[in-house]
Amino acid sequence: MNSRYLMISEHWRRQYGEKVYKLPVGLPVTCPNRDGTCGVGGCIFCGEIGAGYENLPESMTVREQIAINRRHIQAKYKAEKFIAYLQNFSNTYLPPQQFAAYVEEACQPDVVAIAIATRPDCVNDKYLDILAELRERRGIDITIELGLQTVNYRTLAWINRGHGLAEFLDATLQSRRFGFDVCAHIILNLPGDEMIDVVEAAKTLSALNVQQVKLHALYVVKGTRLAELYERGELTLGSCEDYVERAMAFLEYLSPDIAVQRLIGRAPEANTLFTNWSMGWWKIRETIETRLTELDTWQGKRCDYLNGPAVKKFL
């Protein structure tokens, strides 16, 4: 590892022998936490367009979206291999036949993997069977991207997540039983969460043997319940320095084998009341990397808690 943490680019280079690029694909899906199935209104930070602000219109077919994004990325980076990323809302929240048709259509030339973002309570054997069959038949890798956000189940209730920690554990264990990679999404600075929650998140994901993580700072999207709290002055957001400290601690406790897709998220400023302390995301990433070097620390430095550490003195 050249860097002080395992960057996803290095992880993919090891796996595919070259750089690969994600192509966002938007499906006409919603989320059971928005339509009343397991909640209404969604997570308190979730805006009308979910996470898909960079997506092409969902009215376009999967094939068209992949073709357009692929042309753009190929011209810009001379890319040869791609991951189709079903990004927005909960992409397994569909009848199984419809889901099967979408993932089949995502198997375009030079697409080496499909990454499917969904909620833990939308992971079910039936869908995993479809993906396992697709993997065998088309020789394509599968990553399940699961929103967890925090391991603190009281905070999960406060953000109206509509599921607890147990559902995430179940979805991860199920996906791993099928041999799929899992990427967990975490927000490091949710109100109410402290450093102990950040450390426990890193330890839990390491114990679960997930393959990737994506870290975010909380941003405030206009029109959300979080925005109401923010505008009423009832939301306390920590400082950027605190976020940097949390990211470093998370990395120290994280298994060195887990690839980091992001150290900080991105959101369009026009649509938000608060994003990344009005700093560029790359600036915050750079600050974390600089601090890791200054303190001579690295991912996995404190990953010494697995496999019965108390009995190691007898071995």
Where on the chain is the footprint of ligand SF4 (CB under 6 A)?
31, 33-34, 42-43, 46, 50, 89-90, 119, 147
For the chain, the straight-line distance linking the first and the last C-alpha, in angstroms and rounded, comes to 29
20 vs 221, beta carbon nearer ligand SF4: 221
The size of the chain, in residues, is 315
Q: Which of 45, 46, 29 is nearest to 118 (CA)?
A: 29
65/106 Cα distance (integer angstroms): 9
9 vs 30, beta carbon nearer ligand SF4: 30
88 vs 143, beta carbon nearer ligand SF4: 88
Contact by Cβ (8 Å): 243, 188: yes
147 vs 238, beta carbon nearer ligand SF4: 147
183/147 Cα distance (integer angstroms): 9
Tell me the closest approach of the beta carbon of residue 314 to ligand SF4, in angstroms.
Answer: 45
Tell me the closest approach of the beta carbon of residue 315 to ligand SF4, in angstroms.
Answer: 43
Tell me the closest approach of the beta carbon of residue 163 to ligand SF4, in angstroms.
Answer: 8
DSSP label at 159?
Answer: T
32 vs 300, beta carbon nearer ligand SF4: 32
119 vs 246, beta carbon nearer ligand SF4: 119
Stated as kind and residue range, the H or E segment containing 229 is helix 225-231
86 vs 248, beta carbon nearer ligand SF4: 86
Tell me the closest approach of the beta carbon of residue 22 to ligand SF4, in angstroms.
Answer: 18
166/172 Cα distance (integer angstroms): 10
Q: Which long-range contacts (CB under 8 A, 24 or more apart) does 16-22 make?
A: 16/81, 16/112, 18/80, 18/81, 19/77, 19/79, 19/81, 20/79, 20/81, 20/82, 20/83, 20/112, 20/113, 21/73, 21/77, 21/79, 21/81, 21/82, 21/83, 22/82, 22/83, 22/84, 22/85, 22/115
Tell me the closest approach of the beta carbon of residue 50 to ligand SF4, in angstroms.
Answer: 5
Q: How many helices (H) and strands (E) does the chain have?
A: 10, 9
Tell me the closest approach of the beta carbon of residue 294 to ligand SF4, in angstroms.
Answer: 35
Tell me the closest approach of the beta carbon of residue 184 to ligand SF4, in angstroms.
Answer: 14
6 vs 210, beta carbon nearer ligand SF4: 210
Q: Is the dihedral of CA 154, 155, 161, 163 positive or negative?
A: negative
Tell me the closest approach of the beta carbon of residue 278 to ligand SF4, in angstroms.
Answer: 23
